[in-house]
Amino acid sequence: MNRGQLARDRLRVERPTDVDAFLARAGDFLAAREEENSLLFGICSNLKANPTMFANPAQFAVVIDEVDEPGRLAAAALRTPPHNLVLSAVDDLAVVDVLADALAGESLPGVLGPAAAALRFVERWSARTGQRTERKIAERIFRLSVVRPPRPASGATRVAEPVDRELIAAWLRAFADEALSEPFEDAEEAADRWIAQTGRTLYLWQDGGRTVSLCGVGGATPSGIRVGPVYTPPQHRGWGYASNLVARASQAQLDAGCRFVFLVADLANPTSNKIYQGIGYEPVADVDQYVFLD
């Protein structure tokens, strides 16, 4: 038995039963690379703020590395069925193999995680299950600590209200169709959660009596919070609405005490990436989303 196989044999997977147990076990590990794990933290924050927001109970997993230090965490993952598995950042890709092996008996639609870790997972998953995989979206995590104000746009920002419910639901569907290439099944319920401001806030840009752009903020991390979704209907693009809205929403989070604001942008959309970097967002890491095919 070679040293690599021996090391893998001393890795084991634990399955925390709820979000509090998961964070108690994995919180410090995730915080060591907070930027890369901001999506995991954000999902956990949403689960704590809105325990019933997902139709099915969340599922959690951590990989324990007994090779060098008893009880040391080497990876973490969670899933809110029917959505994809979300992977943490890892230092050693071998731990991804152990996680994929442990989950191989489960039905997963796909995986989202740091580019190298996600690729390693799907390779191992395909070898174990025979399923084909396809990279669906390539994204980049950005971090902001200082806002650079963009060129001013006509209008002003406001917080979403109950009267905006129908518009928000329609725009969430449009965002999902355009950016995620999948339907948004519970847009009305999601609009209600945004309007209720339970752990999240939805900002709108108003110009001349028209609502022209939206920007959500939610999913707290230990020292920051995440921005998203950001959506401007095609007929209102090119006027600087999104740049100004994201800048003001981001500044509001810094003013409220956040050290950082995070967002994830699709690499296939150079316009949005340019907008975010123009107001101070800096690239941190790439993440890929894969789907498993029948």
CATH code (residue 188): 3.40.630.30
Q: What is the pLDDT of residue 7?
A: 53
Q: What is the pLDDT of residue 6?
A: 38
Map tokens 């999601």 to a residue. Answer: 190
Q: What is the pLDDT of residue 1?
A: 35
138 within some domain: no
* Per-residue pLDDT of the chain in tens (294 residues, 90 and over written 9): 333 443 566 899 999 999 999 999 999 999 999 999 999 999 999 999 888 878 789 999 999 998 767 789 999 999 999 899 999 999 999 999 999 999 998 999 999 999 999 999 999 999 999 999 999 999 999 999 999 999 999 999 999 999 999 999 999 999 998 887 566 768 999 999 999 998 899 999 999 999 999 999 999 999 999 999 999 999 999 999 999 999 999 999 999 999 999 999 999 988 888 999 999 999 999 999 999 997
264 within some domain: yes
Sign of the Cα torsion 178, 80, 37, 146 reads positive
Domain that holds residue 23: 3-130
Q: Are residues 209 and 278 in the same domain?
A: yes
Q: What is the pLDDT of residue 8?
A: 60
Q: Are residues 92 and 178 in the same domain?
A: no
256 within some domain: yes
* CA dist., res. 196 & res. 191, Å (int): 9
23 within some domain: yes
* Nearest residue to 164 via CA among 210, 230, 219: 210
Q: Are residues 77 and 207 in the same domain?
A: no
* CA dist., res. 101 & res. 72, Å (int): 19
- In a 3-state reduction of DSSP, which class is residue 156? strand
Q: What is the pLDDT of residue 182?
A: 65
* Nearest residue to 228 via CA among 285, 279, 258, 266: 266
Q: Are residues 8 and 121 in the same domain?
A: yes
292 within some domain: no
Q: What is the pLDDT of residue 122?
A: 97
Q: Are residues 148 and 276 in the same domain?
A: yes
Q: What is the pLDDT of residue 3?
A: 38
139 within some domain: no
